[in-house]
Amino acid sequence: MGVDYYSYLVVGCSIDEDKLKIPTKVRACDCNVDKIEDMKFCSKCGEEVWKEDYDLIEGYEEDESFLGFDLVYNTDNENCWIAIRKKEVGGYNRNEFDMLDPSDNIEELKAELKAKLEPHGLWDKESFGIWVIQCCSY
């Protein structure tokens, strides 16, 4: 246990993770009651009939990746980035891979990311760049 500080170097863009989720409502209890859909509270158990939930949009592996690109979060998952390349810097699990391969063409990688995000309304050219994301686990 303890506090661990580390950061990620990311080539990619920031993304609003909420846009990767579709809000839905689901039943909060399993009681078999007539016309329960019209009720706010269940007449059998007293719980609210509906609770907030969400579905994931296609291609989103929650907390991991979207359309095959890694997702990176800062401390407490407050913000999210989609990475075409990433490197963890510092911490105990420093990886030894170079972030960019000499054959990488940033404009091609950017175009690939844009082509995948644009149909979902998630492409933001202003946020595309190199990000340093500082994290703290505790």
Residues making contact with Zn ion (CB under 5 A): 29, 31, 42, 44-45
Coil vs helix vs strand at 75: helix
Residues 6+ apart with CB under 8 A from 109: 11, 84, 85
Minimum Å gap between C-beta 41 and Zn ion is: 8
Minimum Å gap between C-beta 37 and Zn ion is: 13
* Beta strand 80-89 pairing with 129-137: unpaired
Nearer to Zn ion, 5 or 41 (CB): 41
Token pair for 16: 């609003």
Nearer to Zn ion, 47 or 124 (CB): 47
Minimum Å gap between C-beta 51 and Zn ion is: 12
Nearer to Zn ion, 29 or 99 (CB): 29
Report how far residue 112's alpha carbon sits from residue 121's, in angstroms, rounded to the nearest whole number.
15
